[in-house]
Amino acid sequence: MATFIVHANLDCEARWAGIALPQKVQQRISLLGALVGVLAPPEHAVEVWAPAAVDPARLDARAWRPPTMRVGEPPRCDLAWADPHAKSVNDRRLVLDIAREHGFGLPGATVIARVDDLDLAGPWVTKAPWTAAGRDRCHGEGAPSPEQRTRIGRLLETFGSLVLEPWCERIVDVGVCATVASDGLVSAHPAHSLLTDKRGGFLGIDLAPPALEPAERDQLAMMVAAAGALLWEHGYAGPFAIDAFAYRDRDGTRRFQPLCEINARFSFGWIARAFHQRTGATQLGFGEAPPDATVLIAPGDDRVTAWIKT
């Protein structure tokens, strides 16, 4: 049986930012990196290379066929979580530009290079140009506190600039997995729901159709096509995903932001779809598993776990 080699470089954003992740973070993302093996053809033996060692006992073989785990960068790979050369197209500042170009820029969203550039009256969030899983952010409201100023200052020292956005009261978070081919053709899967906490932290994927209005679905489809075209213009071809959300304005009006992230790589939406194809599962979650869920990664002291359910 041929061995399919996967490079689960979930530390790609940190590498693009020039940041060395702590060992505990490397261990956590390496555990999650095991899930990338599900993207390999089912008839192959799978070998996944990740930043740190993984305890094989954490990978519950009753639920799936876990891959063989290796540490480091493989000499070759058949599939990579992220193209190591895709730094420029994963920059959040690029997302800000394309959203504005299509008339979907959030009011007050901008790039800041100094703490004193932060000038939003309501709730806000600052984000690093390259980061994942809600890391390297700062939330606040109005003028930043001394602690927030310190936090933002340290982020600016590391990244040089940050994306500042108003923090919106979410109604539903959605994502779309898509591919841009080498000839520029964009193909997309149906939208899915993103499960998040109150701070936007990622909790999982629900493949059931999200509760969007018809006009919102049209706007989302338009931005998927626009994002794919932008990536192709910048020389990128391959998998990508975009995030969007419906939110409640201060006066209670429902509004839709059809683009808030472009991930020019694989994402956990792709992982959820791969598990759906193999098992019929419609949800992929991280955190405490519901009673009727099937555990993929058994919980440990690091609180990392993963599960699927129908």
pLDDT exceeds cutoff 80 at 133: no
Phi, psi (degrees; rounded to nearest 5) at 28:
-65, -45
Same domain, 73 and 145: no
Please give the model's pTM, rounded to 2 decimal places. 0.95
Residues 164-199, buried b or exposed e (16+ Cβ, 10 A)?
A: bbbbbeeebbbbbbbbbeeeeebebbebbbbbbeee
Same domain, 183 and 35: no
What's residue 1's pLDDT?
61
pLDDT exceeds cutoff 90 at 233: yes
- The rounded percent of the chain whose pLDDT value lies above 90 is 85
For 59-80, how does the pLDDT look when each residue is reduced to its tens digit (9 = 90+)? 988 878 999 999 999 999 999 9
Cα 266 to Cα 253: distance, rounded to the nearest angstrom: 34
Cα 165 to Cα 257: distance, rounded to the nearest angstrom: 12
Query: How many domains does the chain divide into?
Result: 3
Same domain, 159 and 120: yes
Cα 87 to Cα 116: distance, rounded to the nearest angstrom: 28
What is the average pLDDT score of the chain?
94
pLDDT exceeds cutoff 80 at 198: no
Cα 37 to Cα 44: distance, rounded to the nearest angstrom: 10
Q: Which is more confidently placed, 249 or 256?
A: 256
What's residue 134's pLDDT?
65
Same domain, 172 and 58: no
Same domain, 135 and 146: yes
Domain encompassing residue 224: 88-105+168-265
Same domain, 188 and 256: yes
Find the CATH number of the domain harbouring 242. 3.30.470.20
Query: Considering 134, 166, 198, which residue would you say is the last residue of a domain?
Result: 166
Same domain, 53 and 141: no
Same domain, 157 and 177: no
Q: Taking residues 286-309, what's their average pLDDT?
A: 93
Q: Taking residues 38-47, what's their average pLDDT?
A: 94
Same domain, 147 and 184: no
CA-wise closest residue to 29 among 138, 155, 132: 132
pLDDT exceeds cutoff 80 at 274: yes
pLDDT exceeds cutoff 90 at 135: no
